């Protein structure tokens, strides 16, 4: 790969990652402000009720396999059984 293409690709991916993190943070903040930190667990807060159970199942699967430090810290220090949004 040409050095310019590689450098450009790395710059684009770096920028996309920053945008993704910003958007996830804003969505999380808005959800927690409107519905509380565990509001995502309540089906009344979801427009698509058909996918709600599937979503919860997917979230639980991802949390159980997570090796992220923040997840370990949360479960080691809090009595909650679900991560906040």
**pLDDT tens profile 74-85:** 999 999 989 999
Global confidence as pTM: 0.69
Whether 43 and 81 map to the same domain: the answer is yes
Whether 66 and 25 map to the same domain: the answer is no
Residue 16: helix, strand or coil by DSSP? helix
- Total domain count, the chain: 2
**Residue 17 gets which letter from DSSP?**
H
Whether 62 and 28 map to the same domain: the answer is no
Whether 64 and 84 map to the same domain: the answer is yes
Whether 43 and 25 map to the same domain: the answer is no
CA 69 to chain centre: 14
Domain that holds residue 16: 1-35
Whether 7 and 25 map to the same domain: the answer is yes
Confidence band of 73 (pLDDT split at 50, 70, 90): very high
Give CA–CA dist 30/85, Å, rounded: 10
The 10 Å CB-count burial string (b at 16+, else e) for 34-58 is eeeeebbbeeeeeeeeeebeeeeee
Whether 52 and 78 map to the same domain: the answer is yes
């Amino acid at each position: 790969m040409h050095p310019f293409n590689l450098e450009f690709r790395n710059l684009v991916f770096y920028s996309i990652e920053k945008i993704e993190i910003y958007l996830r943070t804003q969505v999380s903040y808005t959800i927690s402000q409107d519905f509380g930190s565990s509001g995502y667990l309540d089906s009344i807060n979801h427009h698509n009720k058909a996918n709600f159970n599937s979503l919860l199942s997917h979230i639980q699967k991802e949390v159980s396999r997570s090796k992220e430090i923040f997840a370990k810290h949360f479960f080691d220090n809090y009595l909650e059984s679900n991560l906040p949004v």
